[in-house]
Amino acid sequence: MTARRATITVMLFTGAIALTAAAHHGDAGRYEETITTISGTVVALQLINPHSLLIFDVVDEATGQTVRWQAEISNANGLARIGWTRETLKPGDRVTMSGRVLKSGAPYINLSERSRLTRTDTCEELYYSGMIFGEPPDYPAPTCD
């Protein structure tokens, strides 16, 4: 393989990775811009890549019905770096989180940016966007009773 051909191959490969990353991380207006705060009871924590999921139940105040929600958090490796394990959140734990919800109204919240996750009963801050990189949040902490 000639040096020129090798260079072109590397450039094409690098470009494909960059496009994939950009497509993956663009939310294309899927989420509301306003921050929503919700509380619920943990059903499961899935520490997976590329994004971990927190599944939790929320009681709809208007209807009294329980709605199953999902929260998208950082990847498993990043959460492990800040001390998360499969024991960090267990079924039955009460949590409060602030983040952006889907515009469609589906029960899904993004905790990737401008977000926080705390234990409802102790107000212990478990996660905020930027925590993995040591960046302090530029938005207020939730109030606790």
**Are residues 84 and 40 part of one domain?**
yes
Neighbouring residues of 68: CB distance < 8 A, sequence distance ≥ 6: 43, 55, 56, 57, 107
Q: Are 93 and 54 in contact (CB under 8 A)?
A: no
- Residues 37 and 7: their CA atoms lie apart, in Å, by 49
Kindly report the average pLDDT of the chain as a whole number.
84
- Is 103 found in the same domain as 53? yes
Q: Which two tokens stand for residue 135?
A: 């960046």
**pLDDT of 20:** 41
Residues 13, 52, single domain; the answer is no
| Residue numbers of the domain that contains 5 | 1-28
Q: Which two tokens stand for residue 102?
A: 């889907």
For residue 133, give the DSSP letter: G
Q: 98: part of which helix (H) or strand (E)?
A: strand 94-101
Residue 28: predicted pLDDT:
64
Tens of pLDDT, residues 71-90? 999 999 999 999 999 999 99
Q: Pick the more confident residue, 2 or 7.
A: 2
